[in-house]
Amino acid sequence: MSSFTKAAALAALLPLALTGTPPVCSPSTADLSCSGSSTNTCCINSPGGLLQQVQFWDTSPSTGPSTSWTIHGLWPNNCDGTYSESCDSSRAYTDITTLLQNAGQTQALSFMDTYWVSDDESNEKFWEHEWSTHGTCISTLEPSCYSGYKKGEEAVDFFVKVVSLFQTLPTYTWLKNAGITPSSSKTYKLSAMQSALESAFGAPVILLCQDTNVVYEIYYAFHVEGSVQNGTWVPTSNEGSSSNCPSTVKYPPKGTETSGTMAMRPAREDVQGMAASSSTEHVEL
């Protein structure tokens, strides 16, 4: 059993129960996303059936605890590696903080203020962006999927799920268990980092670099059996994404200035473009 499977079982016990009345999907309707076997988009995520949980390792400026990666978001990709964004402007909610407070999700909110933080704007603006850009494209979070729907409850479900999922993916700890810790002097083989994470997660992962060889982001990918809210998350490979890192990389401590100019966090389309243009350095997983 992978470390992810064990952690996922523990996360199910955390007091971060989803709010609202999302769909109850029977075994006959809760098919695995990207299987092409169901048209019930309240019980299978479609077309965005490949869900990527993306994390940051921010060093300059540093964000979050020194011994943890932080949350970037949860991104639905289509099963062929393409993706949609900003799918419903009418649900581009502002004041995510109040939505969570009104739903009684103060524990999730407190966690987000520590582990889901922006490097250049308010946390609130960052959360609003992640919801409107990516959350509105998750089919099982459509208001029509809810019985007795109340405005904004699907966004609450989104944030609570991202928090609980992130808690099952302790990137820093998994690397540390393999003897890979942040260092100002050491370099690491990209393959060693990938191998350690794949062993713990149960599927290949994608590491991304900036400043040529400084690791700063990771993509974990899942198919989901059933809804995002209540389904079973199955680790899988990242279709349509690849690493832009060289074979030897740096993993500096937070607060470390790296050589060259530290770029702002690239946008999603820029990341995929960087990876595509770095095919000669792509490490097969």
DSSP assignment, residue 72? Answer: E
Catalytic residue among 128, 130, 217, 225: 130
**134 among known catalytic residues:** yes
| DSSP run (H or E) holding 206 | strand 206-210
**129 among known catalytic residues:** no
What is the DSSP secondary-structure string of 94-151? S-HHHHHHHTT-HHHHHHHHHHS--SSS-HHHHHHHHHHHTGGG-GGG-GGGSTT--T
The neighbour count for residue 79, using CB atoms within 10 Å, is 18
How many Å apart are CA 274 and CA 208, to the nearest integer? 9
Catalytic residue among 85, 124, 129, 134: 134
H helices then E strands: how many in the chain? Answer: 8, 7
Catalytic residue among 72, 217, 223, 225: 72
For residue 47, cis peptide bond before it (omega within 30 degrees of 0): yes
Comparing C-alpha atoms, which of 64, 55, 87 is closest to residue 217? Answer: 55
- What is the rounded (10 degree) CA torsion for 244, 246, 252, 257? -80
**282 among known catalytic residues:** no
Distance from CA of residue 101 to its chain's centroid? 23
Q: What are phi and psi of 262, to 5 degrees?
A: -75, 115
Exposure pattern of 30-63 as b/e (b: 16+ CB <10 Å)? bbbbbeeebebbbbbbbbbbbbbbbbbbbbeebb
Known catalytic residues? 72, 130, 134
